[in-house]
Amino acid sequence: MSVKRKDSEDVADTQASDKHGEKAALHRNKTGRLVHVVLTGFQWIPLLLRRRLFTALAALFYHIVPRQRMIALHNLRSAFPEKTDEEIVKIARGVYRTMGTVAAEFFDIPKLTPENVREIVETQGLENCEQALAKGKGVLLFSAHFGNWELEAAAVALLVKPAVVIYRALDSPLLENLVLRVRSASGNKPLRKENAMLSMFRTLKKNGMLGILIDQNVDWYEGVFVDYFGRPACTTSGLALLALLSGAPVLPVYLVRLPDGRYRLVIEPEVEVIDTGDRDADVIVNTQRFTKVIENTVRKYPDQWLWVHQRWKTQPCQIPPESR
């Protein structure tokens, strides 16, 4: 191949790369503008009206999407065998109302400040987080899809300090950009869960805070089975591993919706991490302890947890014999 021909190909490759970069930049700009329009549009609707709209839509979905309704009812019946059918249905309807409320309030999160957030959020146990931070090892905050988990993350950032929040990427670029913009508005730094372990350790080393939701089903190779409402639930082992390897204190946090529509941010005392030196056994024991904290909270306010999720989808029988 002549030098002239090779140079021509290099130029062509460079031009193609530049064009690809320009297209990507234009797409990001277009998505960014669309996200701004969506945020501004919903913020223009008064919150009271927005809540009514979204809770009405959630109630509609309860009736017209039977699959998620049946998942919720089945999960609730298995978790609360002592309750009547009427009680189970009432809780399930409340779950949909909670989801509608979370969606309605989501768009106002970027407007929150350390001052005005106190108008809608009262606090309990902030001193537990401050004491944990004083140890200088970072803090691991764990929570669930409970109450208003999006507002919870913002409230912690504004009332304590911003955290690195672990999340699972969404399939829709528009929703991904919208969610990331809202979640980062209060100072939090969203971090995708894929290959995030090194970044998480760096955060803890700088005495930063990590926020992790541990109430969702994972594949058998991503977690361990622990008891949740009397059934084996495959739960991420990441929190327990981080705690054992870093020595960072682990604190439960949740935001419960109050009868008047306001919220209470609760940061509970540090959960003791069991470390016997048997890593595999310790991961299971500690994951069980963390999960039990979530179960106790959900039992108090069952209509504020995401029962439409297939929490018990992964079963122990799915583990290959050679991995048991």
pLDDT in tens, 125-172: 999 999 999 999 999 999 999 999 999 999 999 999 999 999 988 888
Q: Are residues 314 and 302 in the same domain?
A: yes
Q: Are residues 120 and 92 in the same domain?
A: no
pLDDT, greater one: 289 or 31: 289
Q: What is the pLDDT of residue 149?
A: 97
Q: How far apart are CA 227 and CA 15, in angstroms?
A: 57
| Range name among 1-15, 117-131, 203-217 with the lowest pLDDT average | 1-15
- Confidence bin at 112 (pLDDT 50/70/90): very high
Q: Are residues 129 and 197 in the same domain?
A: yes
Q: What is the pLDDT of residue 174?
A: 86
Q: Are residues 143 and 253 in the same domain?
A: yes
Show which of 107, 132, 152 is a domain's final residue.
107
For residue 302, the 8-state DSSP code is G
Q: Are residues 70 and 120 in the same domain?
A: no
100 contacts 55 by C-beta, under 8 angstroms: yes
pTM assigned to the model: 0.89
Dihedral in degrees, nearest 10, Cα atoms 286, 323, 212, 200: 100
Residue 206 has pLDDT above 60, yes or no: yes
Tokens describing residue 202: 């760096």
Q: Are residues 59 and 122 in the same domain?
A: no
- Confidence bin at 179 (pLDDT 50/70/90): very high
Rounded average pLDDT over 215-232: 97
Q: What is the pLDDT of residue 172?
A: 86
Q: Are residues 185 and 242 in the same domain?
A: yes
192 φ, ψ to 5°?
-60, 140
Q: Are residues 123 and 223 in the same domain?
A: yes
- Confidence bin at 71 (pLDDT 50/70/90): very high
Rounded average pLDDT over 301-319: 97
Q: What is the pLDDT of residue 160?
A: 97
Q: How far apart are CA 304 and CA 298, in angstroms?
A: 7
236 φ, ψ to 5°?
-55, 135
Among residues 98, 85, 84, 64, the alpha carbon closest in space to that of 302 is found at 98
Tokens describing residue 262: 């306001």
Q: How far apart are CA 28 and CA 5, in angstroms?
A: 35
3-state secondary structure 42-99: HHHCCHHHHHHHHHHHHHHHHHHCHHHHHHHHHHHHHHCCCCCHHHHHHHHHHHHHHH
Q: Are residues 294 and 306 in the same domain?
A: yes
Q: What is the pLDDT of residue 8?
A: 54
Using a pLDDT cut of 90, give the percent of the chain over it.
83
Q: How far apart are CA 164 and CA 233, in angstroms?
A: 26
- Structural domains counted in the chain: 3
pLDDT, greater one: 45 or 16: 45
Q: Are residues 313 and 191 in the same domain?
A: yes
Q: How far apart are CA 290 and CA 39, in angstroms?
A: 35
- What is the rounded end-to-end Cα distance, in angstroms, of the chain? 57
CA 245 to chain centre: 22
Q: Is the dihedral of CA 161, 290, 138, 166 positive or negative?
A: negative
Domain residues for the domain of 92 are 45-107
User: What one-character-per-residue DSSP string does 92-142 give?
Assistant: HHHHHHHHHHHHHHHTTGGG--TTGGGGTEEEE-HHHHHHHHTTSS-EEEE
Q: Which residues contact 26 (CB under 8 A, 6 or more apart)?
A: none
Q: What is the pLDDT of residue 4?
A: 52
| Range name among 24-38, 165-179, 205-219, 282-296 with the lowest pLDDT average | 24-38
Q: Are residues 159 and 33 in the same domain?
A: no
Rounded average pLDDT over 30-54: 91
Q: Are residues 163 and 298 in the same domain?
A: yes
